[in-house]
Amino acid sequence: MTSPGAQARIRDAIQRHGRVSFSRAGGPGGQNVNAVSTQVEVRMPIARIPVSTRQRDLIRARLATRVTADDALRVTARRERHQARNRARAIDRMVELILDAIAEDPRRRATRPGTGVQRRRREQREKQSRKKAQRRRPPDAD
């Protein structure tokens, strides 16, 4: 989990360096959709995100489908009827995506199978062995 300070730094950087554009959202909504540019697209240059180089590489790898050719992270929002709400939603989503992408996976500790697991596996193997042994033709008695 990252600190609230990191979240605030990322949000501040997006508001300062992110490029915001607006367009018509389309879809159902009547006159409001047809007349008002409520869809918001936020583009944030990855180089401007206040994280380490390793974390930038993680962002590029884990969010590859959202990274544009000019190395910017792209998020859109179009659900709300108001431009300001969609803008806030897009920025919130971008912060969330960045924090999820830079989160380090916990190191896995190698463990041994428990006694019960080993016993059940052995019983299953023996059961399978007996089943297959019954299918075999009995040896010829000479």
Predicted structure pTM score: 0.71
Tell me the longest C-alpha to C-alpha distance in the chain.
96
Helix (H) or strand (E) holding 125: helix 115-135
pLDDT of residue 142: 62
Distance CA 59, CA 133 (A): 55
CA 128 to chain CA mean position, Å: 41
Q: Which of 2-6, 17-21, 59-63 has the lowest mean pLDDT?
A: 2-6
pLDDT of residue 140: 77
Distance CA 87, CA 76 (A): 9
Helix (H) or strand (E) holding 88: helix 83-102
- The residue type found at 101 is A
pLDDT digits (tens, 9 = 90+) for 15-47: 999 999 998 877 666 777 778 888 999 999 999
Arithmetic mean of pLDDT over the chain: 90
Confidence of residue 80 (pLDDT cuts 50, 70, 90): confident
Local structure of 19: helix, strand or coil: strand
Token duo for residue 22: 């607006």
Q: Map out the domains of the chain as residue ranges.
A: 4-102
Instruction: Specify the CATH number for 4-102; select among 3.20.20.80, 3.30.565.10, 3.30.160.20, 3.40.50.620.
Output: 3.30.160.20
